[in-house]
Chains A and B, each alone.
Chain A
């Protein structure tokens, strides 16, 4: 009977739960879904990770390639993030060129990388104006159940922490690059940006970590990205109903708490030795 009500009147169904200060899957309004993390999922990539927030599953693979640095920044390498939402993850995505949501998500991740100063781009440069690393970060959603942006940020962070770059030297005589695959060193990550997404219902109730259903019924969506020093890297609210100053502040506080939870997860998990890590995915 509840299933029938849910299909016929989805908004009323969710409202009846929100009146009791909880949600249809039993969570509190401010509760995130259980987050699990798996690292080195893709053996052919230089760095990879897989994240599950509830049912939302996102995988990231990092490939490092050698290229010439761009002419306007000859001493810096660069990163190219790409978010892919294939028809596999949800029936609302059709095959073909990337849709608007995928493109907006890719641009958002690129902005977060730049705003949070995640990696020192000068470190990716091998020789000024001649050779640098370009990191292709391919983020693919395998199962879309809401809260895509948070998952993308966590998976990118974990994959970068896991990435190993080979040592490259330039042979002075031949002027060619020599890659030493045996010697690998990890990337130095400056910051730990973590995102928290919120959905606004009926202009007043704010819920954290919305599922795909809750996202489609909400009147506004908000994503706040903070780093470990409690500085904001992004406040992304693409329209929707207005938010007052206090509600925004409340969301930012929740985002700061979430940052601490995720930093502990990523830090603790990465400190375990690689063999054990591959066997056990870490739960939060």
Chain B
């Protein structure tokens, strides 16, 4: 995989990780991110995984409607806009997953009776959409400077009909697989924060996918660290 020349955006390296388990090949597609690209939101970011690209914007802590306010913590709202059409039932489930993950990571009690709104726009969908949404949301929350207890990242695993585990699948691989598992992993102890699965699989396959996702998440967390370090070392 060639390393594209770095522009003002930070680009991640595509690394090949051969795991000790089976012949499962865990290769994350080339990923990259850019922060602070929009002027109006408090924090914004894009996250690109292969051809899948998501643009995230965060507003917060901001005013909240009285009907939605919570007396001792901030209210988190997530909106996912698909590439075409209006948000439907599928977007609602994704919004629920992203919202609950963000709620677990953010220190909401520091901003009572406020709102934190995360808006995600799908630029292109080529597989691993929910993972890309979560990664973009985390980078945008970091960019907004909202206090968090830990970072999170997300990895998607697909189990093919032959039983091979493919990490970060493309849209075509997702269509041909027997099961699709998306996990959000937290940065402190690498435990599973969020899990969303379709298709049927055995308990062993689940454990294998979790182990592979945890290993892949280490790369993504390292990427978060590098991109923040690179960004702040430029500021005098």
Q: Which residues of the other chain, A, contact B202 by a CB distance below 8 angstroms?
A: 230-232
| Nearest residue, chain A, Cβ from B191 | A242
Structural contact, A111 and B198, CB atoms closer than 8 A: yes
Question: Which residue in B90, B101, B186, B201 is a CB contact (below 8 Å) of A232?
Answer: B201
Q: Which residue of A lies closest to B210 (CB)?
A: A245
Bound form: Cα–Cα A243–B203 in Å = 16
- Please tell me which one of the listed residues A106, A238, A240, A245 contacts residue B207 in the complex, with CB atoms under 8 A apart: A245
How many Å lie between the Cα of A268 and that of B61 in the bound state? 55
Q: In the complex, what distance in Å separates the CA atom of A100 from the CA atom of B192?
A: 23
The 8 A CB mask of B69-111 against A (1 = contact, 0 = none) is 0000000000000000000011011011111111110000000
The answer to the question of B193 belonging to the interface, with a C-beta cut-off of 8 Å to chain A, is yes
Cross-chain pairs A/B with CB under 8 angstroms, 24 sampled: A103-B89, A103-B92, A104-B93, A107-B89, A107-B90, A231-B200, A234-B197, A235-B195, A235-B206, A237-B192, A237-B196, A238-B100, A238-B101, A239-B103, A239-B104, A239-B194, A241-B104, A241-B193, A242-B104, A242-B186, A242-B189, A242-B191, A242-B193, A245-B191
- Contact between chains at A106 and B198 (CB < 8 Å): no
What residues on A are CB-neighbors of B184 within 8 Å?
A: 239
Q: Does A131 contact B (CB under 8 A)?
A: no
Are A236 and B197 CB-contacts (below 8 A) given A100-B96, A104-B93, A243-B192? yes
The listed residue with most B CB atoms (<10 A of its CB), out of A111, A227, A237, is A237
In the complex, what residues of A have CB within 8 A of residue B201's CB?
Answer: 231-232
Chain B interface (Cβ within 8 Å of chain A)? Answer: 89-90, 92-93, 95-104, 179, 181, 184, 186, 189, 191-203, 206-207, 210
Given contacts A238-B194, A239-B102, A242-B191, contact A115 B92 (CB under 8 A): no
**Closest chain A residue to B88, Cβ basis:** A103
Tell me the count of chain A residues lying within 8 A, CB to CB, of chain B: 34
Q: Which residues of B contact A115 (CB under 8 A)?
A: 179, 197-200
Which 3 interchain pairs have the tightest Cβ spacing? A239-B100, A242-B191, A239-B101
**Contact A232–B203 (Cβ < 8 Å):** yes
Q: How far is the CA of A249 from the CA of B206 in the complex (A)?
A: 10
A32 within 8 A of B: no
With A220-B104, A243-B191, A243-B192 known as contacts, the answer to whether A238 contacts B203 (CB < 8 A) is: no
A83 to B103, CA, bound (A): 25
How long is the Cα–Cα vector from A108 to B92 in the complex, in angstroms? 11
With beta carbons under 8 angstroms apart, the residue of A114, A222, A227, A245 that contacts B198 is A114
List 19 extra interface pairs beyond A104-B96, A227-B200, A238-B96, CB under 8 A. Answer: A103-B92, A103-B93, A104-B93, A107-B89, A108-B93, A115-B179, A222-B195, A232-B197, A234-B198, A236-B197, A237-B196, A238-B93, A239-B102, A239-B193, A239-B194, A240-B103, A244-B191, A248-B210, A249-B203
B89 with A235: CB separation less than 8 A: no
The reply on A58 being an interface residue by CB < 8 A is: no
List the B side residues contacting A114 at CB < 8 Å. Answer: 198-199
Interface-central residue, A236, A242, A249, by most chain B CB under 10 Å? A242
- Asked if A237 and B200 make an inter-chain contact with CB atoms under 8 angstroms apart, the answer reads no
Among residues of A, the one whose C-beta sits closest to the C-beta of B205 is: A232
Residues of chain B within 8 A of A230, CB atoms compared: 202-203
